[in-house]
Structure 1
């Protein structure tokens, strides 16, 4: 039995002692409160909730125990409940930086990044160093790249979170197309998943595919839930023309980054290259649902329209995408397919997919789809 299973199956000796004391003195509020805190420390949040409810039946919860209830709710995925409790507590204690951080964290989990940024003031950053990285992450989500980079550079030498800040800076600078700076900050925290991913993406841009794939694997080992690491691996598989594995990797990345339109777009192209047009259309539509003005996603749907003989829809979407972005690569591809199709009989899906695999700039050059996939990675920073 591993340690995690043991922890979940039976209370720790310290918690068990507290529970035994409570059995002997069932109305002792101090014991119940201490046991609730111990349960939370042990990761036994359901038991923590039970103890807090027991306490509340005897007396209203003190602010510290209300905060504990919210932390327990947050740990169990009840972010809305946690945020409501933190907000109520902050109204009573407006100068408490730790409550402000907790409320910002809960707000970020609910995709309310603007509220989180407003809560993470300088006094909060000074009191709770983790707030620095959280503020950078929220600014990133809001497209505030320059402000997030400036904040990171101010705190890159922080004694406690300097490594995390450097790793986050590497990601931000990569998205800002500052490759040299991104690499420099990534090297300050070379074991962090974010840094490994950035170094892998930079290796991929240099066409050092072997090094890139090795770095992506290390990034996923460091953080299996890193959507960007899975995205990088998927791009590497595209470069290897392993379209089936690329599609699976990119689907995983999209699942981990559900609000990241560029990742859904890239996943869609992998499915196009893998010959699964229905799934590709679904991924493109998800990207467009996230950002209704994402021209590349609209143009990509137009490409699938052509392949699936929806010519009127393809023409309409192609023109709409080009109105959004005159240089929209997917719309230009759809336009070319429409021109090719004019006056011709049915073409097989395989022949149409061959167009996507056509290399640009010579036989060894990247394919059209690979260029769009890499472009979508850059676009993702703004979507």
Structure 2
């Protein structure tokens, strides 16, 4: 049996009894199409693939409603993680039938699984771009918002959310997804409102918990951040955003050793996320591990050579090592890309002999995270205790 179809033993026991009853009825009335569909759904729900496959085969052989049985077959193939077969079936159904939201949703879902969020967006747009007063299927709401999030269409996603939220047309799960989008759009107040409303309505999805943890972190509520992260990581223990937020929480607590471990885990899970590498680099700097910090900042540089803070961070490394020419060149590049680069300012202060002590390093990190987005998207206000500003 596929793991994705497995159920608890108690649920299976009750479900199996119901399936046996339905099979008995079907044995007495084998031409009953609706009853056969009920048998399939029950078998599917308890993970009895053998019975589910039998109903598909007979349903197709009888030929009374082949499209309905092809759709059920596609649904089963998705549960079995045989996505290419499912996609082929759904594509044929889409060509043969009138447009149906369920077919579009399943095709979009398969596209999202392979990281093709543009196709996901295109499949769902006809159903999601309706008049805001019209109902949109709950599963389409969440997948639509996720596609917008991955495509960085944050403004459109929040506009879509606001329109439907005002009319009470937004599901709690969709609010949860939107709350994380609001975090990345630097709208912490809206993120908190959406996440709290989703939680109050019974949604404790990953996005809701991550957004609420990020808000708690921005509010310096480390206990709250840990609480939400514990729930989120119970759901997805290998989620990079969970680990990055945990690392930032530990940095706020000045538990730098633990923060480094969490951020290293996050970087391994999200190797293409620049913010995570920067957070790890700064944690290593505060821990006085210059070599590890350089490796983290160089990893960030490989992802985007036009991000000024990466050049500024490497300038700090060079300045601390007394490599003046290299530091000056990196400062030039950093300020050319971002005239307000805080890391470049700190590197210049080190070169000028104005500061190089751990407290001022912590202050530079405080300033950087106060005005730049951390991996969760939140401004890291008051990341560290207040210290005198460095000279620039």
The two structures have a TM-score, normalised by structure 1, of 0.69
- Residues 171/55 of structure 1: CA separation in 2 closer, same or farther (3 Å cut): same
- Residues 186/251 of structure 1: CA separation in 2 closer, same or farther (3 Å cut): same
* CA apart distance, 1:199: 3.9
Encode CA deviations 1:181-221: one digit per residue, 9 max, x unaligned: 33222321236354444344334333343444344334445
Q: What is the rounded CA distance, in whole Å, between the counterparts of 2:238 and 2:312 in structure 1?
A: 30
- 2:160 corresponds in structure 1 to 151
Structure-to-structure mapping, 1:292-371, within 5 angstroms = 293-301=306-314, 303=316, 318-336=331-349, 339=351, 355=357, 357-359=358-360, 367-371=363-367
- 2:175 corresponds in structure 1 to 166
Q: What is the rounded CA distance, in whole Å, between the counterparts of 2:258 and 2:367 in structure 1?
A: 18
What is the RMSD of the two structures over their aligned residues, measured on CA atoms? 4.9
Encode CA deviations 1:79-128: one digit per residue, 9 max, x unaligned: 56654553443233361211111112222222222222222235357452
Structure-to-structure mapping, 1:197-276, within 5 angstroms = 197-221=210-234, 224=237, 227-254=240-267, 257=270, 259-274=272-287
- 1:105 corresponds in structure 2 to 109
* CA apart distance, 1:144: 1.6
Q: What is the rounded CA distance, in whole Å, between the counterparts of 1:67 and 1:173 in structure 2?
A: 36
The two structures have a TM-score, normalised by structure 2, of 0.68
* Equivalent of 2:120 in 104, 116, 135: 116
Note if contact 2:294-2:314 (Cα within 8 Å) is conserved in structure 1.
Answer: yes
Encode CA deviations 1:158-201: one digit per residue, 9 max, x unaligned: 76853223323332333333333332223212363544443443
Q: What is the rounded CA distance, in whole Å, between the counterparts of 1:41 and 1:169 in structure 2?
A: 30
Q: Does 1:91 align with 2:87?
A: no
- Give the stretch that moved more between structures: 176-185 or 273-282: 273-282
- 2:184 corresponds in structure 1 to 175
* CA apart distance, 1:78: 5.5
SS in 2 for 1:207: coil
- 1:377 corresponds in structure 2 to 374
Q: What is the rounded CA distance, in whole Å, between the counterparts of 1:304 and 1:77 in structure 2?
A: 47
* CA apart distance, 1:149: 0.6
Note if contact 2:241-2:375 (Cα within 8 Å) is conserved in structure 1.
Answer: no
- 2:144 corresponds in structure 1 to 135
Q: What is the rounded CA distance, in whole Å, between the counterparts of 1:258 and 1:70 in structure 2?
A: 34
* CA apart distance, 1:241: 1.6
**Structure 1 spans left out of the alignment, 5+ residues:** 23-28, 342-351, 361-365
* CA apart distance, 1:335: 5.0
Note if contact 1:263-1:376 (Cα within 8 Å) is conserved in structure 2.
Answer: no
Q: What is the rounded CA distance, in whole Å, between the counterparts of 1:53 and 1:309 in structure 2?
A: 72
